[in-house]
Amino acid sequence: MEPVTDDSSRIEDIEPQATVTGTSKPLYRFFRGEPGSIGIVMLSLGTSQFLIGIPMKIDLLENSSQSYTQFWLGILFIATGILYILSAKSPSKKLVTASMAVSIVSIIATVLSFFEYLMSMWKMLRIDIYYPDYDIIYYNLTNEGDPWSAYHAEQLAAVEGVLLFYCFVGAVLLIVITAFARAGLRSVKTQAVVIMHNRPQQ
């Protein structure tokens, strides 16, 4: 009589085993927005605004620098640029989240600064209405100096226009990169990968 073999044990021996490992989905959607390049542009815009604010602050004619707009907006742009450059080099969920939070604050500040620059530029273009009295108080100029004074006001208005352009470009870039950062954070999900291992037959 032939010995009875346990078929169930043989089936278990040849049955493949499954190993489940967890992997993280990369922030590929975030990198589509080119955070490194946008970070460099934001860093340049912030530095330019900060430097422009220094001579405008010491100017005797009242302008947008009286509320230190160029300084705090420049610092926000610089901080945003640095965060996105770091996010591009060493991406992590916490760093991208911090970058997106600073971007949202910067967007709000950019909108406020835009209207501040716009109002200041409008005042500069209409400075000829009250500038003669201003000259007598601060510059001690005669009426012959009024053409130069109006010329100086137009120069400041042009600078305010440049700052308006900086705000527009910065706002567009911040909105775009914030959208990509949000999409990238939503794409970070844990996936299960099943690896099948065939055990050798005995």
Task: Give the rounded percent of residues in the chain with a pLDDT score beyond 70.
Answer: 68
| Tens-place pLDDT, residues 33-90 | 888 899 999 999 999 999 998 988 888 777 888 889 999 999 999 999 999 999 888 8
Residue 197 has pLDDT above 70, yes or no: no
| Tens-place pLDDT, residues 77-126 | 999 999 999 988 888 888 888 999 999 999 999 999 999 998 888 887 77
Query: pTM value?
Result: 0.69
Question: How far apart, in whole angstroms, are the C-alpha atoms of residue 59 and residue 23?
Answer: 58
Question: How far apart, in whole angstroms, are the C-alpha atoms of residue 81 and residue 157?
Answer: 27
For residue 187, the 8-state DSSP code is: T
- 3-state DSSP helix/strand/coil % of the chain, to nearest 5: 75, 10, 20
Q: What is the pLDDT of residue 73?
A: 94
CB 149 within 8 Å of CB 141: yes
| Tens-place pLDDT, residues 133-175 | 444 444 444 444 466 677 778 888 889 999 999 999 999 999 9
Sequence spans of domains, the chain: 25-190
